[in-house]
Amino acid sequence: MILLDNCPICQDGNLQKKFDCIDHSTSKEKFTIVSCETCEFNFTNPRPENNLLEKYYKSDAYISHTNNTEGLFNWMYHTVRKYAIKTKLNLLKKVSVRKNHLDIGCGTGEFLNACKISGYNTKGIEPSELARKQAINNFNLSVNEKTELDQFKNNEFDSISMWHVLEHVPSLHKTIKGLNRILSDNGKILIAVPNNKSWDAGYYKEYWAGWDVPIHLWHFSQINIEKLFNKYNFNLVVKKPMLFDSFYVSLLSEEFKSGRKKYIKGFTIGLISNIIGMLTNRGHSSTIYVFEKNKAF
Ligand SMILES: [Zn+2]
């Protein structure tokens, strides 16, 4: 296990245990979330060694299942996914008209393919073999298995997306420094992460699906993700709620808490969270942040 003695954002060593969470998706093992006393950043601590994390990821059968379009639930899943891809693409077009785009953790390639059709020169990174093969075979995309950013040249990309990926990367500092190096001046990075200050996170506490231990190593709020990127000379330029995530996360959390699928309750909590997210500064269950790279670093 890897045990951090300091907060990776503010370096403070005063870490308090928040609570234990169960890995509901795969191992059923228990992991501890700690909170930094100074900046309130939460992270999974201790966590499995990097080479042992792989076994906690959902199996390849999961990917095959989610590409199945039969049944009402799958139909809904695919409709929401289509809408989410369109929303993300519109956001990318709005913030970056320049053309070289990298999608880190591109999965089976649906978003990257939409970028390619819109005229972006695309590259992807995807460590899962089955997902990567689907992206390459279905859409003829350029997707690399290797996750290290040192494979790319300085200023190679005008925009980079990481949809629910940053919370999984073992080294935040190495990754964000690498993102800064491979982005062109004023280049944009689009990041979606769960927000542990959302109302649904507070309601479900240790049962909140957004903790997703141990594969979610870092648990961001709007305040500390901005602080982290400011350290690497990025400015926050856009913040956008992911409204469907509140429902999905609440349905899943409800199941973790009660052991049963409770659609109406999950939907209600998701709805309340979205309304509170709109009316207060707590934010939504998941948020997309767009950071711009400042010129001089
Ligand atoms: Zn801290």
Q: What is the C-alpha to C-alpha distance for residues 55 and 265, in angstroms, rounded to an integer? A: 32
DSSP secondary structure letter of residue 59: P
pLDDT of residue 69: 60
- The amino acid that residue 227 corresponds to is K
Q: What is the DSSP string of 184-208?
A: EEEEEEEEEEE-TTSHHHHHHGGG-
Interval between CA 280 and ligand 1 midpoint (Å): 24
Interval between CA 254 and ligand 1 midpoint (Å): 30
State the DSSP H helix or E strand holding residue 96, giving kind and residue range, or none if neither: none
Q: Biggest alpha carbon distance in the chain?
A: 53
pLDDT of residue 59: 60
Interval between CA 235 and ligand 1 midpoint (Å): 19
Q: What is the C-alpha to C-alpha distance for residues 230 and 232, in angstroms, rounded to an integer? A: 5
Residue linked to tokens 């542990």: 196
Specify the pairing of strand 234-241 against strand 286-293.
Answer: antiparallel
List the one residue out of 95, 64, 137 whose CA is nearest residue 240. 95
Tokens standing for residue 67 = 């590409």
* Phi then psi dihedrals of residue 218, to 5 deg: -120, 140
Report the C-alpha dihedral over residues 204, 207, 213, 217, rounded to 10 degrees.
10
Interval between CA 144 and ligand 1 midpoint (Å): 34
pLDDT of residue 67: 62
Q: What is the C-alpha to C-alpha distance for residues 150 and 247, in angstroms, rounded to an integer? A: 37
Looking at the chain, how many residues does it have?
Answer: 297
Q: What is the C-alpha to C-alpha distance for residues 265 and 267, in angstroms, rounded to an integer? A: 5
Interval between CA 91 and ligand 1 midpoint (Å): 30
pLDDT of residue 66: 60
Interval between CA 111 and ligand 1 midpoint (Å): 34
Q: What is the C-alpha to C-alpha distance for residues 197 and 277, in angstroms, rounded to an integer? A: 10
State the DSSP H helix or E strand holding residue 215, giving kind and residue range, or none if neither: none
Mean pLDDT, each 10-residue run in order, the chain (297 residues): 96 97 94 97 97 81 57 79 94 94 97 97 95 96 96 97 96 96 96 97 98 97 95 96 93 94 94 96 95 81
Q: What is the DSSP string of 131-162?
A: HHHHHHHHH---EES---GGGS-TT-EEEEEE
Interval between CA 21 and ligand 1 midpoint (Å): 21
Interval between CA 169 and ligand 1 midpoint (Å): 18
Interval between CA 269 and ligand 1 midpoint (Å): 30
* Phi then psi dihedrals of residue 56, to 5 deg: -90, -5
Phi-psi domain of 238 (left: phi exceeds 0; alpha: psi -120 through 50; beta: other)? beta
Residue linked to tokens 């053309």: 99
pLDDT of residue 39: 94
Tokens standing for residue 277 = 């997210």
pTM: 0.93
